[in-house]
Amino acid sequence: MNKREFLKAGLLVGLASQVPLKGEASAIAFNKKRKVKNWVWVSPNQKDTDDELKIRYAAWKAAGITGVFIEADSERHFRAAKARGLATHRWMWTFNRAELIGTHPDWYSKNRNGDSCADKPPYVKHYRWLCPSRPEVQQYLEQQVTEILNKDYIDGIHLDYVRYCDVILPVNLWAKYNIEQTKELPEYDFCYCDVCRAKFKEQYGIELSDIQYPEASLSWRLYRYNNVSRVVNSLSGIAHQHKKAITAAVFPTPEVARRIVRQDWTNWKLDGVCPMIYHGFYKEGVRWIGDAVAEGVHFLAGAFPLYAGLYLSDFKSDDEFRQGLQNALKNGAAGVSLFGNPSQQVLDILKEEITKPII
């Protein structure tokens, strides 16, 4: 199953942000100085012919696309994109991966009831989350990234599913999964394995089992943010040793990301971040794209660029896409990352909007 199919299960989505906007004047100042870069997420299709790839990637480059995040190690796709001048990053599923269930079932996360993702995955059978506390998991991911970045046709690593399982789904999905998540329910709250309990005790001096309401413990929450951040920053060190870039696809705003998936992405050491600002998933309009970008840019405070992740199928018209793009750029996005196959109209609009001055 690739990301496109996975999205149909609706498991990328969260709740809308309530954090204040960045001041418009400073956003404009930032826009004038920045260098815009744009990306496309690609699930490589082996049926693509060499000629098709040549034409497609040339058209993307001409429209102002900087690079591609490619979901599988298809050397042909990577080399075809590079030949057209695009940067090529390998798009990697980070903590959600099933290949270790047979060999290392103990590496998988356990929920507050003690059930493991290895044999009782939450929501859908494809949710197989590794425990970020385990040194073996970190080493395994470091090895994966090293192997990927050793390849000469790969310019960078793009992390996805770099978080915990969703502890709360958006309200519009509750009926679909027949659950009421008005609070953090134990079966979706991770990870409570022995390693997590021991490391939390070591760092905070508290037995997790002595906390009456662990879901309300700020220290326990912080422990989990830092757990993901530690692994990301280690992978970042590897990327930079290879003199290659590291980026990540993350939940749409810093507040939503921390609250529902324990993802503290504004504190990561990245070269860029692509928040998935998929407005339709959140039942929001295109105005919210600007609001979400403003929040992310505010909390990043210039640490690294933010590329607004846009879900092309969510736009009802070309005009709406143009509006969404303008909202992202005028609120400080350093470009966009497109999910879906961009039409020529979309490419034309992108080229037009990124080449005109932003006011």
Q: Which of 96, 116, 133, 331 binds Zn ion (CB under 5 A)?
A: 133
Q: Does 65 bind Zn ion (CB under 5 A)?
A: no
For the bound state, the minimum distance from the C-beta of residue 108 to Zn ion, rounded and expressed in Å, comes to: 9
Residue 69's DSSP bridge partners are 41, 89
Compare residues 131 and 261 and give the one whose CB is closer to Zn ion: 131
Query: Which residue lies nearer to Zn ion by CB, 110 or 279?
Result: 110
CB of 11 to Zn ion, least distance (A): 20
For residues 289 and 277, is the Cβ–Cβ distance under 8 A?
Answer: yes
Instruction: Closer to Zn ion by CB, 162 or 249: give it.
Output: 162
For the beta sheet containing 272-275, the strands, ordered from the edge strand earlier in sequence to the opposite edge, are 272-275, 245-250, 156-160, 87-93, 67-70, 39-42, 336-339, 308-311
Burial class of residue 344 in the structure, from the number of CB atoms within 10 Å of its CB (0-12 exposed, 13-18 middle, 19+ buried): exposed
Q: What is the four-CA torsion angle of 296, 17, 129, 44, rounded to 10 degrees?
A: -60
d(CA 147, CA 15): 36
Contact 271, 237 (CB under 8 A): no
Stretch that binds Zn ion, among 76-84, 132-140, 175-183, 350-358 (CB under 5 A): 132-140
Q: Contact 198/294 with Cβ under 8 angstroms? A: no
Nearer to Zn ion, 149 or 196 (CB): 196
Q: How far is the CB of 103 from Zn ion (least distance, A)?
A: 17
Contacts of 269 (CB under 8 A, 6+ apart): 232, 233, 236, 237, 246
Nearer to Zn ion, 199 or 330 (CB): 199
Tell me the site size for Zn ion, rule CB under 5 A: 5
In the region spanning residues 237 to 296, those forming contacts with Zn ion, defined by CB under 5 A, are none
Q: Which is nearer to Zn ion, 137 or 276 (CB)?
A: 137
**Complex with Zn ion: residue 230 or 356, whichever CB lies closer:** 230
> Rounded distance, CA 277 to CA 288, Å?
8
Least spacing, CB of residue 193 vs Zn ion, in Å: 3
Spatial contact of 15 and 259, defined as CB atoms under 8 Å apart? yes
Between CA 271 and CA 101 the distance in angstroms is 32
Task: State the minimum distance, in angstroms, from the CB of residue 137 to Zn ion.
Answer: 9
Least distance to Zn ion, CB of residue 131, Å? 3
The interface region with Zn ion, picked from 25-33, 128-136, 225-233, 337-345 by CB under 5 A, is 128-136
290 class by beta-carbon count within 10 Å (0-12 exposed, 13-18 middle, 19+ buried): buried
In the complex, the smallest distance separating the C-beta of residue 129 from Zn ion, rounded to whole angstroms, is 9
Please list every residue from 181 through 210 that binds Zn ion, using CB under 5 A: 191, 193, 196
Q: Which of 11, 80, 131, 257 binds Zn ion (CB under 5 A)?
A: 131
Which residues of the chain form contacts with Zn ion (CB under 5 A)?
131, 133, 191, 193, 196
